A and B are shown apart, each in its own frame.
Chain A
Amino acid sequence: MRLPAAYLIVLTLLSLSCSKKKLPILGLRQIENGDTIYAKTPDFSFLNQYGNRMDKSILEGQIHVANFFFTSCPTICPKTIRSMIRIAEHFKDHPKISYLNFSIDYKKDSVERLKSYYDKLQVSIKQFHLLHIPSMEEIKRVTEMYMSIAVEDPDAPGGFDHSGWLLLADKDFHIRSYCLGTDDKEVDRFIEDIESLLDEME
């Protein structure tokens, strides 16, 4: 009788140590009246590649992945967009995940251009949006709230300096994970994070 009991204890301990850790809430936080207020992803109201106006309400009850890119980007964006597609294909039109690809080139990336770029990707993914941000001020506000950077720089390839992060936000709009969208191994780990966030919602 003693042995099975010992096994049980060991097994319990093992399963505890194997269970996934809850993803942390990232970003700035404030303490108000003893409560911790965590930063949230930005409000927005932008047109997508179909010319439909999208705002935060489309993300109700969903988690979302955010990416920043522009269609004429010669360096990291093709890779980050590829990673977004890989993630979306992994989760096969999961009804609780949206993919937001914000364009940071408000001058060139019109709705028509975003649509033509989307068509050339030759994918069909529900809830995969390419979003047109109308001004540099808005781009600055949105990128910062997603802990990213995008600045106009004539010397940079394509005219913009920007970060290649993919960001994961939960249904309460808190950022819970991120990865470098150009690094396949990091994206693999990020996919696991998305899975654990989905588990958390159930």
Chain B
Amino acid sequence: MKWNSAIILLLASGFQSCQFSDHPYKEGKLVYLQQCSPCHGNTGEGFGKLYPNLSDTAYIRQHRNELACWIRHGIGMPASVRSTLRHSDMTMPGFKTLNAVDLSNVLNYINHELWKFSGEFSLQELENGLKSCP
């Protein structure tokens, strides 16, 4: 009986590690690959001078509260942003189908991959962000 239960335990732990050893921000990764990567690249590297990379951590940190609105409603690229991003006259479209949960998932995924901020993007933070959109 002991051996049996040991084997069952072993099997169970093997099963668990299969299920949970995957990427921790899987949902966010899905959103990222579908919605963001065509322009910003699979690893956020951007695309020539057409689309900016996402790795300007200082800039992102400074605008953290605006990210939700930028993604949901797009960015018209005012001159100030354009000069900061050193990029084109292209505008970013709004992704109206993404709700606060999607936004939190995708931002936490990018944060995990690129920005490495210590605080996660909470649902509360994004809901508040969306409420304050201009």
- CB <8 Å contact, A74 and B48: no
Inter-chain CA distance A184–B41, complex, in Å, is 12
Determine if A79 is an interface residue (Cβ-Cβ < 8 Å).
yes
- CB <8 Å contact, B50 and A76: no
* B contact residues, total (Cβ < 8 Å): 13
Q: When A and B form their complex, what is the total count of cross-chain residue pairs whose Cβ atoms lie within 8 Å?
A: 33
Q: Contacts A120-B88, A157-B93; is A75 near B50 (CB within 8 Å)? A: no
Determine if B76 is an interface residue (Cβ-Cβ < 8 Å).
no
- CB <8 Å contact, B38 and A76: yes
Determine if B117 is an interface residue (Cβ-Cβ < 8 Å).
no
> Nearest chain A CB to B41's CB is how many angstroms away?
8
- CB <8 Å contact, B50 and A121: yes
- CB <8 Å contact, B48 and A120: yes
**By DSSP majority rule, is chain A's interface helix, strand, loop, or mixed?**
helix
> Nearest chain B CB to A67's CB is how many angstroms away?
14
Which residues of B does A touch, CB under 8 Å? Answer: 37-39, 41-42, 47-51, 88, 90, 93
> Can you add 4 more A-B contacts, CB < 8 Å, to A74-B93, A78-B39?
A79-B37, A120-B48, A122-B48, A157-B93
**A-B contact list, 14 entries, CB within 8 Å:** A72-B90, A75-B38, A76-B38, A77-B38, A78-B38, A78-B50, A78-B51, A82-B47, A119-B49, A120-B48, A121-B47, A121-B49, A157-B93, A158-B93
